[in-house]
A = this chain, B = another copy of it.
């Protein structure tokens, strides 16, 4: 029985053959180019799936499973992509269309952040747990929540919007319209913005040198300058860690997952992030559990989390 995962993104479609141990055996990709229209994108998905099967001598009409990870509001019951701005899709019956074009009967679809959380739970940082959360620190703050080995996203499939939990009433403006969302403090975007502000306020900061060395201001700038002892950079990192810890403790106090994994570029900071973060979490968490506390880990699967999660939807 074959298992195929599809990662449908705004810029790239990736299709991968996944074995029973969740190794990616083979993968094909193509640009999404959503402006061509929804059906053109879907046709590309189907043709990549067929080529992948041919190449690996798999009968696409045989017993198999196809899972799709896609951005936006996804109805995993009906198989519709309800709203995905960067795919230019609205109320689009993705599962039915792919089924029609490939002949594969067993197809499911899930939001990409939820699929990534499932990927980490079956094959990554939270492997072996029944209950875990993945928080991704990237352009935004995304995440997914796994209970009993399945995605939980509420009765209407739109839960798990961890980034849009307000941490400071009336705080920084978020793209969602609220003020003070976690995403407005802990995304890479927010960190870059805060770094730029701190650099403007302190022309002598080491952050200027770091930015020159790397050719730009990034989520790493403040972390590197802080390691070199720069006070302004330390303040940026400290504020970043404070808000990140606050959001994580909120999630723990509500959900007490066995493992909470951190993904996205900023999670690559390693100890420079994780040591002060764990310290703040330990200070703040409400109940330390009945002898057992949530473990904070760095996500393992990187960009493959979504595609591996997709292959494990059920």
Contacts and interface: CB of A to CB of B under 8 A. Distances in A.
A292 B156 contact: yes
Contacts of A243: 169
A139 interface: no
A155 interface: yes
Given A286-B176, A287-B73, A253 B165 contact: yes
Interface residues of A, number: 53
A279 to B, nearest CB: 15
Contacts of A291: 156
B258 A155 contact: yes
A254 interface: yes
A246 B167 contact: no
Contacts of A250: 165-166, 250
Contacts of A161: 253-254, 286-287
Contact of A160 (B171, B180, B254): B254
Given A73-B290, A154-B257, A167 B167 contact: yes
Contacts of A158: 256, 286-287, 289-290
Interface of A: 73, 75, 80, 82, 129-131, 145, 147, 152-162, 164-169, 171, 176-178, 180, 242-243, 246, 249-251, 253-258, 283-284, 286-287, 289-294
15 contacts: A147-B147, A155-B256, A155-B257, A155-B294, A158-B287, A159-B253, A161-B286, A162-B254, A164-B253, A164-B286, A165-B165, A165-B250, A166-B167, A168-B169, A251-B254
